[in-house]
């Protein structure tokens, strides 16, 4: 897998891109829809927030999958172990930040 990034035709590349942009569209669409639904007098049900939470998780996971293909799968055999460790550290950090944000959002909801 050498050459330009557009030459990278791994079989998982297209499904990951499709999942990422579909989830991004769902995320943005749900945010736009929920902004017109809720008001101070009648807030939306907290269960509806699972839609953007799940969509953001799919965006993160597909982004991480594409990053894995670009960094680890395309790396040479001599550098693959180091690239894997860096990838796992970054993936763990990003997912930790995502989980922290979801927990903080959920805890800030009125009961």
Domain count, the chain: 1
Indicate whether 2 pLDDT > 80.
no
- Boundaries of domain holding 31: 5-107
**Stretch 23-32: mean pLDDT, rounded?**
97
* pTM exceeds cut of 0.85: no
Q: What is the pLDDT of residues 44-77, one digit of tens each?
A: 888 999 999 999 999 999 999 999 999 888 888 8
- Three state DSSP letters for the chain: CCCCHHHCCCCCHHHHHHHHHHHHHHHHHHHHHHHHHCCCCCCCCHHHHHHHHHHHHHHHHHHHHHHHHHHHHCCCCCCHHHHHHHHHHHHHHHHHHHHHHHHHHHHCCCC
pLDDT of residue 39: 73
pLDDT of residue 5: 56
């Amino acid at each position: 897998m050498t050459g330009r990034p557009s030459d990278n035709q791994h079989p998982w590349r297209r499904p990951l891109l499709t999942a990422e942009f579909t989830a991004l569209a769902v995320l943005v669409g749900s945010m736009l829809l929920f902004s017109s639904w809720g008001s101070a007098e009648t807030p939306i049900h907290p269960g509806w927030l699972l839609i953007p939470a799940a969509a953001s998780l799919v965006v993160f996971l597909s982004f991480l999958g594409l990053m894995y293909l670009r960094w680890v799968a395309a790396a040479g055999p001599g550098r693959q172990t180091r690239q894997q460790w860096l990838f796992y550290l970054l993936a763990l950090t990003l997912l930790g930040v995502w989980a922290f944000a979801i927990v903080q959002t959920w805890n800030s909801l009125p009961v």
